[in-house]
A and B are shown apart, each in its own frame.
Chain A
Amino acid sequence: MGRISISHTPLPKMSYLVILLVIAFVYSAPLIVGTYSASLLRDAMLFSMIALGLDYLWGKTGTLSFGHATFFGAGAYGAAIVSTKLGLDPTLGSWLGLISGVSIAMLIALVVGYFLIFGGVRGSYFTIVTLALAVISEHVIVGWSDITGGDAGLLGIPPLFFPTLSGLAPLSPVVLYWFIASVVCLTALSLWWVCSGRYGLILKTIEDNEERAQALGHNTSQHLLTVFVGSSAVAALGGALYASTVGFVAKDIVGLILSTQVIIWVAIGGRGTLIGPVIAAIFVIWFEQRISSINVQLWPLFMGFLFILAVFVFPNGVLRTLVGILRKLGQRLEHRV
């Protein structure tokens, strides 16, 4: 698998342009599509953080987690519980919630990841155990209703407060949108930067042949654990921001269904490209809203169709396929000139 690798060769100049255009569109969206559509885009961007986190793990080290929604959920529920149940002042509680949500998710990842990774669990066995993690987390949310609100979820989560001229206040919808867009862009760009050099190569060796990497002296288990915890922190940051942005959490943000969708986003966007899964997540969620508004039952059908398309037509992801086509077109144009 993976004989063709584009992720470590320099990107064609065209794709920098594409990335710039995407960022420009993302920032100007509230002014173009209106505030309601922008709020959908904002939520989609937060969910795309799970895809970003998962791609850091799956795309860079080849280790597939089927439970990444758990970390999004842990971030969201952690933030919700700390900011609503402890009787904190909302100006402080919202930020403390954000930090706690991310920390709780990282702690879960650290404990689960330590025993799995240092216990030598790899490949599909790792995937199956993380699948169990998704199921368990769903049961915990439903069963532990005193704390988590059970099926009803938790309401009244305070928004993040920022210092303004007139004291601490929540951001206006448009500014909040820009704040979240910046967090997502910054996270994606820093992950991309971190993985673009030698570190990315070392992660790739783990995917190619972990025993060989160990025999060269690389502590692959430690690398994998770091990536696993880091990738869950990214997902949890998305979840914690989601809780404070939307104001409520419900059980559909943890568990198996969301975890499965995330895998589809990454597969469609192109495993290992980091930015591809983010764009795919946003498009698929937007598409989901459109289709579901026609008929709710149509969506699972489309989702299945998309997945089949991703596997058979774009096995390297839509983004890579597009870049490939652009490259070929460029070469042809050069030949003519």
Chain B
Amino acid sequence: MMIASGLLTGSHLTKRFGGIVAVNDLSISINLLEIKCVIGPNGAGKSSLFNLLCGALRPDSGELMFKGHSLSRLALHEISRIGIARKFQVPSIFESLSVQQNLEVSVLKPQSKFELKDRVDQMLDRIEQSDMRDQFAGNLAHGQKQWLEIGMALMSEPEVLLLDEPTAGMTIDETLDTVKFIHQLSDHAAILVIEHDMNFVRALGCHTYVMHQGGIIADGPFSGIENDDLVQAVYLGKM
């Protein structure tokens, strides 16, 4: 597999948990303002890969580079500060703060009160939650929590946005809305999405990696991937 020198590049990443190799000699890269997707059946190692990319797990071997700098020695909060934001699989918002406060604390060092208020207002508009700004985030519907968390991740104006199953638990309509939302976001940041919902990935229609047993077995545009015999076999459980 070729190692591209992208914005965020993982090369030959390996992560073991005891005897299980969750991620096996895997290379992946994403370029400026690009959308890419990683799919795979449950247990393929998607979440482990995601945690490696955002710094929550350290690889046993392999290297993770962002704009030519190694990420291996950075703490979680430092990785966020250099421009890599993430959305967790389970909606992780601050339930006892209001929607607006959730966005406010997501800005690390606001220039001024007005600038902060401006940015928060804009984001509330983008995630369509202006009318529920004063509600406790814990009271939001599941899909709204997912959007709020994406909004929080965007408040730091990241260059790379990592999304772990952004449509988990969403209705079909919400999923399609989220696809539109993600396409809009790609004007601002490179986005790597991890998903197992085929319908979502089909609607997203971007460059797709297929993961199986810790490695990548296919990659390319989704239309090509979908008709690949090997991929179908993996997804339908014939292997």
Instruction: Name A residues whose Cβ lies closer than 8 Å to a Cβ of B.
Output: 2-5, 8, 198, 201-202, 204-205, 207-209, 211-220
Which chain B residues border A211 with CB–CB below 8 Å? 56, 76, 88, 92
User: How far is it, in angstroms, between the C-alpha of A209 and the C-alpha of B75 when the chains are bound?
Assistant: 17
A3–B76 touching, CB < 8 Å = no
User: How far is it, in angstroms, between the C-alpha of A205 and the C-alpha of B101 when the chains are bound?
Assistant: 10
User: How far is it, in angstroms, between the C-alpha of A248 and the C-alpha of B211 when the chains are bound?
Assistant: 70
The answer, yes or no, to whether B152 is at the interface (CB within 8 Å) is: yes
Which of these, A208, A214, A215, contacts B94 with CB under 8 Å?
Answer: A208
B231 to A: closest C-beta gap in Å = 31
The answer, yes or no, to whether B70 is at the interface (CB within 8 Å) is: no
B96–A215 touching, CB < 8 Å = no
The answer, yes or no, to whether B192 is at the interface (CB within 8 Å) is: no
Which of these, B54, B93, B105, contacts A202 with CB under 8 Å?
Answer: B105
B105–A215 touching, CB < 8 Å = no
Which chain B residues border A4 with CB–CB below 8 Å? 96
Which chain A residues border B196 with CB–CB below 8 Å? none
Which chain B residues border A2 with CB–CB below 8 Å? 96
19 A-B pairs (CB sep. < 8 Å): A2-B96, A8-B97, A198-B104, A201-B101, A204-B94, A207-B96, A208-B94, A208-B97, A209-B92, A214-B80, A215-B76, A216-B77, A216-B85, A216-B105, A216-B108, A216-B155, A217-B80, A217-B81, A218-B77
B108–A217 touching, CB < 8 Å = yes
A198–B105 touching, CB < 8 Å = yes
A129 to B: closest C-beta gap in Å = 22
Number of interface residues of B (CB under 8 A): 28
Which chain A residues border B85 with CB–CB below 8 Å? 215-216
B80–A208 touching, CB < 8 Å = no
1/0 per residue B79-101: CB within 8 Å of A?
Answer: 01100011010001111110001
B152–A3 touching, CB < 8 Å = no
A216–B136 touching, CB < 8 Å = no
User: How far is it, in angstroms, between the C-alpha of A207 and the C-alpha of B97 when the chains are bound?
Assistant: 11
B141 to A: closest C-beta gap in Å = 16
Instruction: Name B residues whose Cβ lies closer than 8 Å to a Cβ of A.
Output: 54, 56, 75-77, 80-81, 85-86, 88, 92-97, 101, 104-106, 108, 110, 136, 138, 152-153, 155-156
A218–B93 touching, CB < 8 Å = no
B136–A3 touching, CB < 8 Å = yes
User: How far is it, in angstroms, between the C-alpha of A201 and the C-alpha of B86 when the chains are bound?
Assistant: 21
A337 to B: closest C-beta gap in Å = 26
A205–B97 touching, CB < 8 Å = yes
Which of these, B77, B93, B95, B97, contacts A220 with CB under 8 Å?
Answer: B77
Which chain A residues border B104 with CB–CB below 8 Å? 198, 201
4 residue pairs, one from A and one from B, having the closest CB atoms? A217-B80, A208-B94, A212-B92, A214-B76
Among B94, B136, B156, max chain A CB count under 10 A is at: B94
With A201-B101, A212-B88 in contact, do A218 and B96 touch (Cβ < 8 Å)? Answer: no
Which chain B residues border A214 with CB–CB below 8 Å? 75-77, 80
A3–B97 touching, CB < 8 Å = no
With A198-B105, A208-B96, A208-B97 in contact, do A215 and B138 touch (Cβ < 8 Å)? Answer: no
Which of these, B54, B97, B156, contacts A204 with CB under 8 Å?
Answer: B97
User: How far is it, in angstroms, between the C-alpha of A4 and the C-alpha of B56 when the chains are bound?
Assistant: 30
Which chain B residues border A204 with CB–CB below 8 Å? 94, 96-97
Which chain A residues border B92 with CB–CB below 8 Å? 209, 211-212, 215
Which chain A residues border B96 with CB–CB below 8 Å? 2-5, 204, 207-208
Which chain A residues border B93 with CB–CB below 8 Å? 209, 212
B226 to A: closest C-beta gap in Å = 32
